[in-house]
Amino acid sequence: MFGLVDCNNFYVSCERVFQPRLEGKPVVVLSNNDGCIISRSAEAKALGLKMGDPYFQVKEQLRRDSVQVFSSNYALYGDMSRRVMHYLGATVPGVEIYSIDEAFLDLGGLETHLTPYLGHLTDLAQRLRAGVKARTGIPVCVGVAPTKTLAKLANRLAKKDAGLGGVLYLDSGERRAWALGQVAVGDVWGVGRQYAHKLTAAGIDSAADLARVSEAWARKHLGGVVGARLVRELQGYPLRGAGPERGRDAAPAEPQLLAHVRAAAAGAGRGAGGGGGVRGAGGGKAAPARRPGARADGVPGQKSVWAGGGRAFALGGADAAGAHRRHAGADGAGGAAAGPAVGAGGGVR
Amino acid sequence: MYDVLLIPVREAPMAAFLPVFSCRVPAGFPSPATDELEGLFDLNRLLFRHPDATYLVRVMGESMSGAEIHPGDLLAVDKHLEADHGHIVVAVVDGDCTVKRLERRGETWWLVPANPAFAPYRIRTGEELHIWGVVTHVVHELVPGRLTALLHSRD
């Protein structure tokens, strides 16, 4: 089983994390040297702005519609991407980083062996989604399916249909058939523009149509074995990425992984809280109920860390009042015998 | 919070372990240090409890000076920690990020500055309060200059 995690409007989302006031407003990010539009918020898409629109052509419209325009900041996007991928890598058995904002997850064996700990794969996907959001503030969608091509397709639908809550798991034949019918053939992963024309000309309009063609036909008209594989993938037989699939039975047996997965399952309640913040302060009822869970989950809160710091450095007592800090630091530096450790402690309260 | 400044943190091949001395250094009187060594300590493990979710931000303004958070200080902000009463948080108010202490007074929540010159902010009923992250540590330079130099030497 494969998952595909794809960040929504990744570059725009990165900018929004640090400028929350852009939430709900049209935003675009431009390519190098402000050449063309390479990322659009949902609001910008609604204004009819297209991917790849040259900046100089749409400049006037951007100004008129007060669209926020950003030059690309790849150092920022790279850092946020690293955080997302690192989290995913620490949470599921295998991750294949496919692009700066996309990663395939190898979920092989999880459902068979670990359902008691992880729940349905939809729940796992929801937790991943909440986890990425809590750590980075970036919204993602997750598609889960037996093949990479179908996972891509599921992700596409999860993005389009807000009612799905950002996750689509094609767990049954009926669901797969339904999903295939939703997607135009040109939007299938691996079908380029040329092939899309060719296929529509041949009366193959949707992914479902493509999944029905014979292997011989695919070999003849879709570039040989590559086309045949594509069709097999759409039918739900995993061929692409045999690599991550190998050894999938061995992977979940590692005790370390099991422990990790249990921890993830224990954290499920928190994930469902979403956002990772206190929301709707007026209510105030949901928040206290969640807190004990958070504590038990190995997030002991600030106090223990402070206490640890006090023990290690003990500059004027563990709870040194703010006013004492400067003196304490100065003394630490003065007491030369204490050396570099205290020096460092003085700097970091 | 508006100018995002990325500070490349070198992938440390080896954690920078420093020895921790078990003697305490009293404020006011330097005392002769014992040479007992308690163990090795890596400051990164203190600052980055959740490395994926911790962001370093610099402080602007004086509103938290009573909590020893001064302009130019570096804050470690954990986006993953659940905010609770008493935490110092980065909150989003009207689209702007601000550092304040989160307090619960009866049924209402407040964002409280640590400086009498600033007024506490009461979170209105029904208003969606967005907590950007919880401030876990403050890095305050007692010998100034090094932090700024490090930030500017990144090019």
What's the half-sphere exposure (Cβ side, CA atoms, 13 Å) at A51? 6
Q: Which residues pair with B112 in a beta bridge?
A: B101
- Percent of chain A topping pLDDT 90: 44
**CB contact set of A197 (below 8 Å; sequence gap of 6+):** none
Verify that B18 and B73 share a domain, yes or no.
no
**B135 inside domain:** yes
Tens of pLDDT along A51-62?
A: 999 999 999 999
DSSP B140: -
Both B60 and B71 in one domain: the answer is yes
Tell me, what CATH number does B146's domain have? 2.10.109.10
- Same domain as B149, residue B74: yes
Q: Give the Cα separation of A301 and A319 in Å (integer).
A: 16
Does the distance separating the beta carbons of B46 and A348 come in below 8 Å? yes
Q: Is the ipTM of this complex over 0.90?
A: no
Mean pLDDT of chain A: 73
- For range A101-118, the mean pLDDT: 83
| B6 in a structural domain | no
Pairing of strands A27-30, A68-71: parallel
Please check whether residues B98 and B129 belong to one and the same domain. yes
- Residue B137's domain comprises 49-153
Mean per-residue pLDDT, B19-44: 61
* B-contacting residues in A 289-348 (Cβ below 8 Å): 290-291, 294, 299, 301-302, 305, 308-309, 312-317, 320, 322, 324-335, 337-342, 344, 346-348
Q: What is the pLDDT of residue A275?
A: 34
Please tell me the total count of domains within chain B.
2
Under 8 Å CB-to-CB from A195, ≥6 apart: which residues? A222, A223
Does B143 share its domain with B93?
yes
Name residue B25's amino acid: V
Check whether residue B67 and residue B110 sit in a common domain: yes
Are A271 and A127 spatial neighbours (Cβ–Cβ below 8 Å)?
A: yes
Query: Are B34 and B62 within one domain?
Result: no
Is the per-residue pLDDT at B134 higher than 50?
yes
**Is B128 part of any domain?**
yes
Q: Which residue has the higher pLDDT, B72 or A305?
A: B72
Pair B75, B131 in one domain: yes
pLDDT tens-digit map of A264-314: 444 443 333 333 333 333 333 333 333 333 333 333 332 222 222 222 222
pLDDT bracket for residue B20 (50, 70, 90):
low
Q: Using CA of residue A76, residue A79, residue A81, residue A84, what is the dihedral sign?
A: negative
Mean pLDDT, residues A12-35 taken together? 92
Question: Is residue A30 a contact partner of residue A57, using CB atoms and an 8 Å limit?
Answer: no
Distance CA B12, CA A176 (A): 46
* Local confidence band at A48 (pLDDT 50, 70, 90 cut-offs): very high
Classify residue B5: in a domain, yes or no: no
A324–chain B nearest CA distance, Å? 7
In this prediction, residue B15 carries a pLDDT of: 60
Distances (CA, A) of A57 to A29, A61, A274, A289: 15, 8, 40, 53
Q: Is residue B123 in a domain? A: yes
pLDDT higher than threshold 80 for residue B17: no
Domain annotation covers residue B81? yes
